């Protein structure tokens, strides 16, 4: 079952979406509930990268009316950024004070290792020990995985060292394995104005919709199609299906739409901004934060760098040398290197000429 509500009254629409869904089948008033938004960077939700605090507020109001007493918000921003800073700049400190809901920084949390899909993965204890996890991703593009939504948002539930390791493992299969380990209670997708070019925002596309359902893989397959991809084009979704996480969205899927009079008219096409520049890049196990900075810089420069050869980026270049341009601390051995973990797009722009 998928429930979608359209319109720009975010708090009410989130509440109404949950009220029309089947979440009550899985909740009870004695549960300890953790809400996991996407606060990858300290930027306002209007930039298209982070979960609107109003979406989380709508969830809190619904849970309160249901009788849930124990609610917390958990998150870990991407490598190189500060979760507490993101909580502040994204409007979550006010939300925490208003509803007396604690904000948990998973970067400071303890963790344990679990096995799934041929991997041993470290996962933060707050994410594993809660009775009911509500996953609240942003529907947006990703420069490496094309889509980031429910399944990939769970990457914020692992330590930073594990986030880095995921990229050395090829990102898609470990994300699928992680999604099998973390038991998601329900998903509420912020589809208000996700960026369809970059996971860190800057190019938001207004869609004004809240999407909810129980099954992360089903929802991700549905959202992949919303932005113009077949689910099999998103590696972690196809791997998740192979691991038995669920089935793809189909014409047999029950979809309930509310406020259809406010349904936005969108020309939804493939947005392959990052793919346009792949011919310029030699990538080996690059982290998302680093890679997206490079893509953003190339996009700003219209893909015409004044540099010889391909641009090297990723952990696979640690300890190696090269005559060309390297991006990030992993390419310190290169003749020209833009340092940082991740480097700033402005510094990359300067290096690109």
Q: Which fold has domain 2-262?
A: Rossmann fold (3.40.50)
For residues 298 and 154, the model is more confident at: 154
pLDDT, position 141:
82
Cis peptide, bond prior to residue 219, ω within 30 of zero = no
pLDDT, position 12:
98
User: Over the stretch 91-115, which tens digit does the pLDDT of each residue have?
Assistant: 999 999 999 999 999 999 999 999 9
Look at residues 70, 142, 79, 64 and name the one whose alpha carbon lies nearest to residue 104: 70
3-state class of 189 per DSSP? strand
User: Over the stretch 182-234, which tens digit does the pLDDT of each residue have?
Assistant: 999 999 999 998 887 767 777 787 889 999 999 999 999 999 888 878 899 99
3-state class of 292 per DSSP? helix
User: HEC states along 53-101?
Assistant: HHHHHHHHHHHHHHCCCEEEEEECCCCCCCHHHHHHHCCHHHHHHHHCC
The pTM is what?
0.84
For residues 276 and 25, the model is more confident at: 25
Looking up tokens 């290096």 gives: 351
Per-domain residue ranges for the chain? 2-262, 273-352
Look at residues 183, 128, 104 and name the one whose alpha carbon lies nearest to residue 151: 183
């Amino acid at each position: 079952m998928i429930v979608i509500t359209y319109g720009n009254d975010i708090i009410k629409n989130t509440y109404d979406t949950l009220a029309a869904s089947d979440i009550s089948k899985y909740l009870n008033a004695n549960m300890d509930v953790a809400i996991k938004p996407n606060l990858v960077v300290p930027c306002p939700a209007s930039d298209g990268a982070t979960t609107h605090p109003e979406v989380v507020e709508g969830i809190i109001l619904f849970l309160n009316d249901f009788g849930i007493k124990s609610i917390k918000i958990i998150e870990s921003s991407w490598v190189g950024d500060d979760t507490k800073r993101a909580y502040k700049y994204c409007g979550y400190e006010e939300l925490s004070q208003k509803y007396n809901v604690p904000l948990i920084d998973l970067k400071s949390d303890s963790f344990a290792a679990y096995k799934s899909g041929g991997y041993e993965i470290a996962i933060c204890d707050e994410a594993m020990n809660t009775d009911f996890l509500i996953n609240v991703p942003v529907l947006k593009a990703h420069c490496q995985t094309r889509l980031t939504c429910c399944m990939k948002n769970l990457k914020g539930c692992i330590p930073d060292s594990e986030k880095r390791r995921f990229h050395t493992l090829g990102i898609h299969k470990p994300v699928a394995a992680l999604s099998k380990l973390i038991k998601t209670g329900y998903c509420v997708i912020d589809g208000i104005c996700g960026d369809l070019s970059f996971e860190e925002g800057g190019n938001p596309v207004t869609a004004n919709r809240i999407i909810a359902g129980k099954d992360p893989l089903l929802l991700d397959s549905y959202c992949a199609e919303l932005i113009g991809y077949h689910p099999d084009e998103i590696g972690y979704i196809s791997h998740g299906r192979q691991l038995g996480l669920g089935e793809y969205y189909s014409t047999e899927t029950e979809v309930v739409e509310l406020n259809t009079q406010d349904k936005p008219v969108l020309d939804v096409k493939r947005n392959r901004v990052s793919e346009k520049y792949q011919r310029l890049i030699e990538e080996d196990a690059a982290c998302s934060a680093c890679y997206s900075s490079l893509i953003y810089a190339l996009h700003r420069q219209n893909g015409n760098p004044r540099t010889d050869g391909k641009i090297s980026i990723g952990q696979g270049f640690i300890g190696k040398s090269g005559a060309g341009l390297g991006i990030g601390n992993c390419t310190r051995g290169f003749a020209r290197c833009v340092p940082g973990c991740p480097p700033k797009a402005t510094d990359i722009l300067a290096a690109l000429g």
